[in-house]
Structure 1
Amino acid sequence: MESPAPEVAGPAAPRRRGRPARPVLSRGKITTAALAVIGRAGYDGLTMAALARELETAPSALYNHVKSKDEVLNWVQDDVNDTIDTTAFGRDPWDLALMRWAHSYRDAFARHSPLIPVIAVLPITGAPHSLAMYERVAGGLAAGGWPEDMVVDVIVAVESFVLGSAMDVAAPEWIFDVGDQRDLAPTFADAVAARPARGPAAADSAFSLGLNALVAGLRGTLAAVRATRG
């Protein structure tokens, strides 16, 4: 019995030309990779070459999706700001909403403290989530009676405190240890020793104290402004 003749392979299917239907990279993937690089190597370690390696692509391919490192950081800022809770504005009194926002803001940036000196001073142009956040906060403050010309100052005052507090979360527990120079600051050394909380709990305690004082001051300021402006 004869063996069947071997099948002859037909011509190879022609290779598709042009770009794939979906890009390999996306804003979300690039942002996630950038956060990973910064988490390992810090801001200085974030270069377009390092980002391309993280994404397992060529730098030239990366530049097809993002113009520069500054644009990547703008995306990162917007991604972090999108996690901040602003739902209390328009629902709760302005002071309670502001406190909830501040807590969420601090928690979001405490998870990315190496980014604070960089992205906290980036323009918000091209950052839709950041713009939406500020719009909700501004609307809540305006509805609460804050004059239009003071709304941004209130936001900046709270942000300045929040970002410093976010960095405090990442501070080492021994940051206030005076070591063998107790004679230079004996009162301070005793105060450090008397502090009941340590580590993250100490940061939480200081944040709550400062935020309560800040908001109380803002309440008093608004009352004085209303009395003055009528």
Structure 2
Amino acid sequence: MPRPSTPLLSRARIRERALAMVDAEGLTGLSMRKLAGDLGVQAPSLYSHYRTKDELLHDIADDIMSTVDVSDFAGTDWAAGVRTWARSYRAALAAHPNMVPVLATGPARRETSLARADAVHGGLVRAGWPPRYATMIGASTKYLVLGAAMSSFSRGFEDDVQVYVDRYPHLDQAHRLRDHADEIDADSFEMALNAFLDGLSAMRTQLTDR
């Protein structure tokens, strides 16, 4: 049989190409018309799979969240659950930083995102955290991860020593930060995560002693 003149589309292929476009050009660089051209089809062909750009982005966000590991919440060590979740969550966002604004809005009705939220909350409650505290731990972890994903502390400095010399004596090494940005940002995230978990452990002890 002859090959079809129009490339076959699937929702998975559409999401794959759309995510590549967002990774390369940002959210503003994605349009349904531009995506159709990239796929070699007419825009109406896309609308039979996705009615709107927002609907497409929500599904892409769900794909990204499917890489987030919440498996340790199946056990009884809630701190291990939070640690694994936070690290994998940060890694998922770091792989697709231009998608952070979409992911930051919350799970909405995204199935995978809701399943992850359910696993986190359920794991914390089973470990003995009151539901209200489990909710706040989930929210606080998200704030920590999103803050790390939205910007790099180290890359916010110039690599020109003349910017800092004389005027800012306590920043005399700030020009070196960009060269070590990945290491500093990763270590800083780990420091914040460890301090967060230490604080939660102390809080848990207080709640148990009441």
**What is the TM-score normalised by the length of structure 1?**
0.79
Verify the 8 A CA contact 2:107 2:113 in the aligned structure 1.
Answer: no
Residues 31 and 81 (structure 1), Cα distance of their counterparts in 2 relative to 1, 3 Å cut: same
Q: Deviations over 1:43-86 (max 9, x none)?
A: 10111112212222111111111111111110011000001111
Residues 48 and 69 of structure 1 are in contact (CA less than 8 Å); yes or no, is this contact kept in structure 2? yes
The match for 1:204 among 168, 172, 186 is 186
SS class of match (1:177): coil
- Equivalent residue for 1:98? 82
Counterpart of 1:124 in 2: which secondary structure? coil
Q: Distance in 2 between matches of 1:39 and 1:172?
A: 21
Q: Measured at CA, do residues 226 and 191 of structure 1 come closer, stay the same or move farther in structure 2, by a change above 3 Å?
A: farther
Given that 1:37 and 1:50 are in contact with CA atoms closer than 8 Å, whether structure 2 keeps it comes out as no
> Alpha-carbon deviation of 1:225?
2.9
Q: Does 1:145 align with 2:128?
A: yes
Q: Which position in structure 1 is the counterpart of 2:9? A: 25
1:177 and 2:158 matched: yes
Q: Which string of whole-angstrom CA distances, capped at 9 and with x for unpartnered residues, describes residues 73-121 of structure 1?
A: 1001100000111111112500111101111110111000111123321
Partner Cα distance (1:123, 1:82) in 2: 12
Letter in 2 for 1:200: D
Residue aligning to 1:227: 209
Normalising by structure 2, report the TM-score: 0.86
Q: How do 1:68-217 residues align onto structure 2 when only pairs under 5 Å count?
A: 68-125=52-109, 127-168=110-151, 171=152, 174-177=155-158, 179=160, 180-182=162-164, 183-187=166-170, 189-190=171-172, 192=174, 198-217=180-199
C-alpha separation in 1, matches of 2:62 and 2:81? 21
Identity %: 33
Mark the runs of 5 or more structure 1 residues left unpaired by the alignment.
1-12, 14-19
TM-superposed deviation, 1:163: 1.6
Q: Which runs of 4+ in 1 moved over 4 A?
A: none
